[in-house]
Amino acid sequence: MAAIERLTIGILGGLGPYATVDIFRKILDQTPARFDQDHLHILIDNYSQIPDRSAALKGCGPSPIPAMLEAANRLCCAGADFILIPCNTAHVFLPELRPHLKIPVLSIIDATAAYIAKHYPECSRIGLLATSATLSFGLYAGKFKELLVPDPIDQEQLVMEAIFGRLGIKAGHFDVPRELLLKAARRLVDAGAQAVILGCTEIPLVVRADDLPVPTVDPNRILAQTAVEYALNGHNLTKSKQLIS
Amino acid sequence: MAAIERLTIGILGGLGPYATVDIFRKILDQTPARFDQDHLHILIDNYSQIPDRSAALKGCGPSPIPAMLEAANRLCCAGADFILIPCNTAHVFLPELRPHLKIPVLSIIDATAAYIAKHYPECSRIGLLATSATLSFGLYAGKFKELLVPDPIDQEQLVMEAIFGRLGIKAGHFDVPRELLLKAARRLVDAGAQAVILGCTEIPLVVRADDLPVPTVDPNRILAQTAVEYALNGHNLTKSKQLIS
């Protein structure tokens, strides 16, 4: 039997930078390793200059697509075999990106939906904390029996404020955003959510798995785990086929 | 006045992988940023497959130089303006690497020595926790009035065991290595060290700044800070000139 070639992971990062650190660490945590050399080859382009995805989708900022393509091509040229994008909102642009890329992209949305279907088959009402763009472009829509999201006021004053506010996560704060997000999450639980997706990669930076009385689902951790399985099993892996372009 | 061009940081990583996560995060923490876009462009090649530096220097493993050159060239081709290597021991190979590189490397050793000279001018006796290779190749030798290192038994049974042991940091453990390293550090303090350099980038992963009664010096944090200043000030910076090749 031929040795299975391990694949090189490419992380199209910087959106945001701390979410990129987070997935990098989660990939290491989920790689069976005794020595440095057991770890995977990971290329990261932390290209923070990619224009803001939410602003672009509201029509008040430039498209991130050219810069995302630029970073993806750098990763491809450097030897990445596939790409991860640790940003839920950026997946709105995935259908436009994929035709221009020579290597596959593992979708954080599809990986998360597959994980929930496998691990929480009994949960029919799934709560979602995410950017307004992720909600309005329906990235997680149709993936579950019922999807619960915050009402428009909570969405703006709790979730978006926690991510983008002056004291928000993207500005390097953690305590205020944590309180805002826990308030929004608890309201989803009160409304019947049986699990809550932390569907913006900034959110797991401040909300922990044991913060809620129901399971929290961290798409960045799931994407890391999916990437490790994919990279370790090389080109022979078939079960992740549905996750790639 | 022309706008100052911000430089792209290249991290030659994977030696070890968690030290690479650590410097990535420390770069972000030290970058003044309100939005993602304020952060720097950082390229990371987490090339864990680079052969073990300590083993090579003991003559019982292949040279890491070809793989380090490969990673450095990938970073250079992808657009890095300068390179950081978050591994003290790897700096033994720097004189052999530099002539082959088109871009400068900021030295973790020189950055640390400059930092101590500036911030702790009153400290003449500096303790050093580092790999046996870093010690025997004298990377920090001659930088301070007096350098205190563990005796050979402590070096092997405490420091090297904490880094490379079966329950060591490179194997993903943290509690046992922490105790071993604190024991070695306290003995340096008892012997008169007025500050202790955590001179292997695995060590600050488990030893905190407030763990000792004297200041601890974290070369990975200092290298991150030096890199941020260098990248933000672009080609106009002169004060770091002594740090680059």
∠ CA B74-B72-B221, rounded to 5° = 120
Domain shared by B36 and B73, yes or no: yes
Domain shared by A94 and A115, yes or no: no
Among the partner-chain residues A21, A47, A51, the one whose CB lies closest to the CB of B28 is A21
Q: Does B171 score more than 90 pLDDT?
A: no
Q: Does B237 score more than 90 pLDDT?
A: no
Domain shared by B115 and B206, yes or no: yes
ipTM over the 0.85 cut-off: yes
Domain shared by A13 and A103, yes or no: yes
Chain B residues in contact with chain A using a Cβ-Cβ cutoff of 8 Å: 14-18, 20-21, 24-25, 28, 33-52, 74, 77-79, 170-172
Sign of CA dihedral A60, A64, A65, A67: positive
Residue B192 domain-assigned?
A: yes
**For residue B37, which residues of chain A lie inside 8 Å, CB to CB?**
48-52
Residue B203 domain-assigned?
A: yes
Q: What is the mean pLDDT of chain B?
A: 93
Q: Say yes or no for a CB contact (<8 Å) between A48 and B25.
A: no
Catalytic residues of B: 87, 200
What is the DSSP secondary structure assignment for residue B214, as one 8-state letter? S
At B234 the pLDDT is 77
Per residue in B72-100, pLDDT tens? 999 999 999 999 999 999 999 999 999 99
Residue B4 domain-assigned?
A: no
The Cα B192–Cα B105 span in angstroms is 33
The Cα B32–Cα A53 span in angstroms is 21
**For residue A77, which residues of chain B lie inside 8 Å, CB to CB?**
77-78
Closest-approach residue (CA) in chain B for A168: B34
- Do the bridges between strand B82-84 and strand B105-106 make them parallel or antiparallel, or are there none, so unpaired? parallel
**For residue A48, which residues of chain B lie inside 8 Å, CB to CB?**
36-42
- Nearest CA distance, A65 vs chain B (angstrom): 15
Residue B1 domain-assigned?
A: no
At B245 the pLDDT is 44
Q: How confident is the model at residue B4 (pLDDT cuts 50, 70, 90)?
A: low
Q: Which residues pair with B83 in a beta bridge?
A: B10, B105
**For residue B17, which residues of chain A lie inside 8 Å, CB to CB?**
28, 33, 36, 39, 42
The Cα A130–Cα A218 span in angstroms is 11
At A34 the pLDDT is 86
Out of A219-223, B136-140, B231-235, least confident range: B231-235
Q: Say yes or no for a CB contact (<8 Å) between A44 and B44.
A: yes
Contacts of B38 (CB under 8 A, 6+ apart): A48, B31, B32
Domain shared by A145 and A91, yes or no: no
pTM for this structure? 0.93
At B8 the pLDDT is 97
Domain shared by A127 and A147, yes or no: yes
User: What domain range includes position B56?
Assistant: 9-108+220-243
Q: Does B239 score more than 70 pLDDT?
A: no
Residue A165 domain-assigned?
A: yes
Residue A44 domain-assigned?
A: yes
Low-confidence ranges of chain A (pLDDT < 50): 1, 238-242, 245
Residue A3 domain-assigned?
A: no
CATH number at residue A57: 3.40.50.1860
Catalytic residues of A: 87, 200
Closest residue by Cα to residue B134 from B69, B198, B200: B200
Domain shared by A232 and A208, yes or no: no
Domain count, chain B: 2
What's the alpha-carbon Rg for chain A, to the nearest Å? 17
Q: Are A134 and A172 contacting, i.e. CB atoms less than 8 angstroms apart?
A: no
Residue B90 domain-assigned?
A: yes
Domain shared by B31 and B131, yes or no: no
- Nearest CA distance, B104 vs chain A (angstrom): 19
The Cα B98–Cα A131 span in angstroms is 45
DSSP string, A153-218: HHIIIIIIHHHHSTTSGGGT--HHHHHHHHHHHHHHHHTT-SEEEE-STTGGGT--GGGSSS-EE-
Domain shared by A236 and A166, yes or no: no
